[in-house]
Structure 1
């Protein structure tokens, strides 16, 4: 079960924020892949689940 308390990013270092976003994207990707399968999954599905912008996705996955 995940903690439902929102993360306070203002108290995190930049590297912690980057790690958190990377982990967030990985978790969202895994969830969407398990629901839809690999090939039907679109980037839009992952970023919607992770609640990040498309630019953030491409920043981590060039």
Structure 2
């Protein structure tokens, strides 16, 4: 398992969510990240999810 980081920002730059979670691979991390964003109502906020290698898995501006 790898540890991915999901971060959500307000337009002002304030972090609304900054958490890490485990996933087996990039595809699973993307799915889990999208589910978390939907649950919290953050799909339309600026967000990113990165892998341990700093690869961008999810991004919305």
TM-score, with length taken from structure 1? 0.36
Compare relative contact order (CA 8 Å, sep 6+) and give the higher one, 1 or 2.
2
Bigger radius of gyration: 1
Q: Which has the higher helix share?
A: 1
Compare the two structures and name the one with the higher strand fraction.
Answer: 2
